[in-house]
Structure 1
Amino acid sequence: MTLNNEVPNIDEILGERIKTGLMKVLKSQSSLDNIKLSFEPGSKKGANFMGEIYRIFYEDANDSENKSQTSSLILKMAPRNLMRREKLRSRHIFLREIDMYDKVLSYFHGFQLSKGVDPKENGFNEYPKCYSSISDDLSESLFLEDLLRRKFEMIDVRKEPVTFDHMSLMLKALGKFHAVSFALKDQQPEKFKELANLAFEQYWTMIDSGYSSFYLDALKRLTDILEMEKRSDLLEKFNNAAGRDHFSNILRMISSEAAEPYAVICHGDLTTNNTMFCKDEQGKPIEIQLFDFQFTRYASPVIDLILYLFCSISTELRNQHYEEFLRIYHESLSDLVRRLGSDPQTLFPFERVLDQLRKIGVYSIYVGALLLPILGSDPDKLPDIDNEASNKNCFQVAAESRKAYNQKVIDMFDDLARFQYI
């Protein structure tokens, strides 16, 4: 098999180790002997701060009339920039995602099959295929299914709101993801402990140890909006809920100890940037895929719920369907736990979902300080992280978006107060 490369500096882009890994994947996915290869960016500018993503197209190089069908896959690579690798702990982050695909999700798949549940039919299978991975230092990579080939797309929240149908699909998939943890924890506690140990906290320990001033600036920008909008009532409620030591409070909320016996392996970063939807001919979302498992953590399941409920949807959608959303999630979780052979009422009754939300709801504000500016920003105006990794202003909201952004922040605080989470 040979390559006909049409991208300049391909050796610089990939490196020998990743090229070798790519060749092995292409050989396993194709019977072609001579491959024509081309690349394009696999994500929008600024959409993936933790790595580099390429969409790789491959076809028969001997087909001069271009009759062969072009196939594609996604290559996700750790950055080579040494400063970025050190600051963002890129190797550890990529090894986490490799472990998730190679060890956790693969075991989840086999466990479901062993209990008579076909993941593709009615179990948890809402994530892209991982064809292969590389864990070598400076070449950490994942070769993943290209979801665009199955007509999955991300939501552009600046142009399209998250709807009830989007949320319903997300909550059902999330419920099934958490259900496998609960059933496995119940039936194979030692094996589950082994897998859960792979999901130790990385994100907030990284922030606490290397970016504390950066983060506290971001949090202050968020709470300053309350003062600017004369909502001292909300600021007081947040301060009362948060206490004086923000990082101690965050680490307490995301700890598995605080969540037991209800801790599960969480996605950890479940937002509109890490979900894709497929629509029917009428434009209705009918399928979902979850991806980007770099910040998984063993913690309370409501950690995943919070990111979508309070950082990704409008206050109108939240207010109209909030309890219904919780029911959709819990019913999906309970259904799969039951089919896997355990009792959901014992493992995670609905009342405990509400309890966990009351204990951890304020986490929405902590994560929102970083997440809300990213989700509301124009991708074309996000910074080059290689050049601005230490720039404290890199997540500030553009002036033209400020009014809408401020209202979104006020809405989040208002709703958290109304639900008595702050």
Structure 2
Amino acid sequence: MGNTLKSVCDAKDNLEDHHVRAALQEDKGKGTTLMAWGLEDFTERGDHYIDVISGLYVRYGKGNTQNDETYIVKLSAPQATKALRDMVAQGNKKEILFYRELLPALNSELIKVGLNPLLTPQCLYANQVSENSVLILTDLRSRNFKKFHGKNCLDIPHTRLILQELARFHSSSLLLKAAQGPQFVSKYDFLDKEWYNVTEDAIDFFITLFDGNIENAVAILKILEGDEGTIRWLQTIKHNVYKILEEMMKRDTVFTTVCHGDCLNNNVLFRYDEYGNPVEALLLDFQIVRRASLVTDLHLLLNISVYGTDRNTNLENFLQLYYNSFKQVFDAAGLQAPFQFQELLQEYENKIMFGILWALAVIPTIVSEGEFSEWASSRDRANSEEAIGNQRESIDSKISGKHGELRARFLPIFDELIDQGIIN
């Protein structure tokens, strides 16, 4: 699902003076004068596949002084097909509505009960015209927030911080729903509009994408000499992934909250103390924000961004930490939590296929730094035995030198299915 942009300069035409001026005046006040601005690409290969994220450097005047400021700008990127354009436009629209309408309401509920607002950037400007969107946010690098180093999985301290903030995010939405009553669902109806089924073409693309993901997973398992039973199982579910995920996405249970939808380590920033220890986690990138079972976020985080050994060893402790933070919000509001810890454990187990399917789709792309993002969605994948052999050689080249990382991240997700008896 990548784009063909080689540099942020390819998307620069989407950003205009009036966008920057509006963001500047929202941040610094109406008395400011925009003098100059420029973009600088600070991300790395594999950091983003849909939008361009850039540093925005601004020089402005206020009174008799001249000052500089930095922001973060997200610009829509050109996509290869209409299905992708529709899907990305839907995601960008959701993120804009999240910042404009939903986030202030969530924070208001937390503040009412004496808790701190959610840790997110402040949105200074948001606009979408057709397929082109512009989002300008505060630059939290100035407050010492930064991404987790490297492309590898999170360690336990970083994981714990995300779980605590994610619990506050989920629980704040239930406070808001309780305050607004039945109108909550209709007021924020964008939460029930998924990027992958926005049009029939999008559904078609999504099914094709996951067919490719399954084929890639089979090829990777063969290269890594994975379990033969797992390979057979993957081949049996190949054409049922869409239905399985739809079943996992059923709403309106006690576990239904506003979910981030893309809770991976590259969508989180961390603040560190003077000794280099992580002390706060901040959520980013809300294009897939949705109403769903809160464990869908937990599965994405723990299956994709945490090594299998750390997840298996600490799973119950992770979920207990999450539940304690979730319950603290309800305690502050003088309300009863909607479920008990043991019920959370059962819901997590019930939705295990959600995490597994997304992990087999996302982990190869992350480990290969984007090499699989275009490959999986190709409609010209191999059919003949000779072509399949050539395809496997191509996949082997994409993961060359990365077998160890895949063994630590990819194989354990299937071991859990074997342990549960889902794979015989």
- Alignment CA distance shift 1:219-1:315 (3 Å): same
Q: Is the counterpart of residue 402 in structure 1 residue 394 in structure 2?
A: no
Counterpart in 2 of 1:362? 353
Q: Is the counterpart of residue 255 in structure 1 residue 247 in structure 2?
A: no
Q: Is the counterpart of residue 51 in structure 1 residue 46 in structure 2?
A: no
Paired with 1:58 and 1:408, the residues of 2 have a C-alpha distance of 41
Counterpart in 2 of 1:166? 158
2:114 aligns with one of 114, 117, 120: 117
1:231 aligns with one of 206, 221, 227: 227
User: Structure 2 matches for 1:57-72, cutoff 5 A?
Assistant: 57-60=57-60, 70-72=68-70
User: Structure 2 matches for 1:163-202, cutoff 5 A?
Assistant: 163-202=155-194
User: Structure 2 matches for 1:224-373, cutoff 5 A?
Assistant: 224-227=219-222, 229-235=225-231, 245-257=240-252, 260-344=253-337, 347-373=338-364
Paired with 2:11 and 2:401, the residues of 1 have a C-alpha distance of 38
2:250 partner amino acid: S
- State the Cα distance separating 1:404 from its structure 2 match: 2.8
Paired with 1:108 and 1:283, the residues of 2 have a C-alpha distance of 30
Q: Secondary structure at the match of 2:244?
A: helix
Q: Secondary structure at the match of 1:20?
A: helix
- Alignment CA distance shift 1:169-1:193 (3 Å): same
1:259-313 CA deviation, whole Å, 9 max, x = no partner?
A: x132111100100111111111221111111011001121110000001111111
Counterpart in 1 of 2:212? 217
Paired with 2:320 and 2:270, the residues of 1 have a C-alpha distance of 21
Q: Secondary structure at the match of 2:401?
A: helix
- Alignment CA distance shift 1:277-1:416 (3 Å): farther
| TM-score (normalizing by structure 1) | 0.83
- State the Cα distance separating 1:87 from its structure 2 match: 1.9
- State the Cα distance separating 1:156 from its structure 2 match: 3.6
User: Structure 2 matches for 1:87-106, cutoff 5 A?
Assistant: 87-89=84-86, 90-106=88-104
- State the Cα distance separating 1:390 from its structure 2 match: 5.0
1:231 partner amino acid: D
- Alignment CA distance shift 1:11-1:32 (3 Å): farther
Paired with 1:60 and 1:51, the residues of 2 have a C-alpha distance of 27
Mapped contact 1:178–1:266 kept (Cα < 8 A): yes
- State the Cα distance separating 1:99 from its structure 2 match: 0.9
Q: Is the counterpart of residue 108 in structure 1 residue 106 in structure 2?
A: yes
Q: What runs of 5+ residues in structure 1 fail to find an aligned partner? A: 1-7
- Alignment CA distance shift 1:367-1:29 (3 Å): same
Q: What runs of 5+ residues in structure 2 fail to find an aligned partner? A: 1-6, 382-390
1:375 aligns with one of 345, 355, 366: 366
Mapped contact 1:183–1:341 kept (Cα < 8 A): no
- State the Cα distance separating 1:111 from its structure 2 match: 2.3
Paired with 1:54 and 1:275, the residues of 2 have a C-alpha distance of 16
2:119 aligns with one of 119, 123, 126: 126
Counterpart in 2 of 1:140? 133
- Alignment CA distance shift 1:389-1:88 (3 Å): farther
- State the Cα distance separating 1:128 from its structure 2 match: 1.0
Q: Secondary structure at the match of 1:142?
A: strand
Paired with 2:121 and 2:196, the residues of 1 have a C-alpha distance of 26
- The alignment yields a C-alpha RMSD, in angstroms, of 3.3
Paired with 1:400 and 1:356, the residues of 2 have a C-alpha distance of 37
Q: Secondary structure at the match of 1:140?
A: strand
2:289 partner amino acid: T
Counterpart in 2 of 1:5? none
Q: Secondary structure at the match of 2:291?
A: strand
Mapped contact 1:96–1:294 kept (Cα < 8 A): yes
- State the Cα distance separating 1:204 from its structure 2 match: 3.6
| TM-score (normalizing by structure 2) | 0.82
- State the Cα distance separating 1:227 from its structure 2 match: 4.8
Paired with 1:10 and 1:226, the residues of 2 have a C-alpha distance of 39
- State the Cα distance separating 1:54 from its structure 2 match: 2.0
- Alignment CA distance shift 1:44-1:69 (3 Å): farther
Q: Secondary structure at the match of 1:245?
A: helix
User: Structure 2 matches for 1:23-34, cutoff 5 A?
Assistant: 23-30=21-28, 32-33=32-33
- State the Cα distance separating 1:82 from its structure 2 match: 6.0
- Alignment CA distance shift 1:210-1:233 (3 Å): closer
Q: Secondary structure at the match of 1:400?
A: coil
